Every structure is written in C-alpha cells, then in structure tokens.
Amino acid sequence: MTNYIFLISLLLTFSISGQTRISLKDSISIVKVLKFQEDAWNEGNINKFMEGYLKSDKIVFTGSNGSIYGWEETKKRYLNKYSNRTLMGNLKFKIINFQKLSEHIIQMQGSFYLKRKIGDSKGFFSLIWKKENKKWFIISDHTSVSK
C-alpha cells in the first residue's frame, strides 16, 4: 500500500509540475527506477543502486568536490563515501519538479533525506534521465547536501 501511495503522489507531482507532458508509461517507469534505487540503498546494496545509472563513461556525477565522469568512477565514489550501513543510513527521495526536454530526455529536481545514527543528512538533487532501449537511466546527477 505504501508503494502505491508513493507512486500516486509522485505521478501527481509529475502531472502538475511538468512543463511538457510526460506519458503515464514513462512517468511510472522513472518512478519505479527511483524507488528501486531507494530500496537498493536501504538494503545496503550500492551495486544494485547503480543500476539506475546508464552504464557509460559519459555519465557525470557532480557534488561538493566537483564532477566525476563515468559509471565506474561514480560507483567508486559511492563505495568510498558510503562504505558501511551506518554511513548509508535510510534513504528517502522526494520529487520536487521535472520537465521533459525531448522525447528521450527528462530533467528532474528533488530532495533526499538520509536518516542515520551518526547524524542525519539531507539535500537536493538534479537528475537528467535518458531513455535508452525503452528504459530510463540517469546520465547526470548533481547532488548537494544542505546544512
């Protein structure tokens, strides 16, 4: 039931805030990838979490220390920064806005919240999604921690 409430709330966000309409099928597909990543993170499985990113040397992750290019380097960053469950905590995503840039490219803004024993962390993200082989993947991730 919680998953359905999550999906419905995200779909309502999509239909209200999108500048160019995204099909229901694409909306559901993207929400499923984001939920898959959230679940993988909360299982402590960064390898599974990375399945949401396009496996390419051209993807980019930008954070407080600058940009990292490539799927492997992005994965290494996550593994180094979040090397155990205590550091990973429990992740929740919230979609704030999105817009369809083209038939196969969507930009999304959102926030994240990490509940952790060592101190919670929260911030914002901007993702560029690309549809490739009928699936949606993140190709650009700009994440910043707020204080």
Domains of the chain in sequence order: 2-146 (3.10.450.50)
Over residues 28-48, mean pLDDT: 98
Q: Which of 85, 89, 55, 51 is nearest to 73 (CA)?
A: 55
**pLDDT at 19 (0 to 100):** 54
Distance, in Å, from the CA atom of 68 to the CA atom of 99, rounded to the nearest integer, reads 24
How far is the CA of 117 from the CAs of 45, 89, 104, 112, 120, in angstroms? 18, 7, 39, 17, 7
pLDDT tens digits, one per residue of 102-138: 999 999 999 999 999 999 999 999 999 999 999 999 9
Worst-scoring range by mean pLDDT, 19-33, 36-50, 110-124? Answer: 19-33
Neighbours of 31 (CB within 10 A): 22
Distance, in Å, from the CA atom of 91 to the CA atom of 20, rounded to the nearest integer, reads 29
**pLDDT at 21 (0 to 100):** 84
- 1 has which bridge partners? none
Q: Does residue 16 carry a pLDDT above 50?
A: no
Query: Over the chain, what is the mean pLDDT?
Result: 90
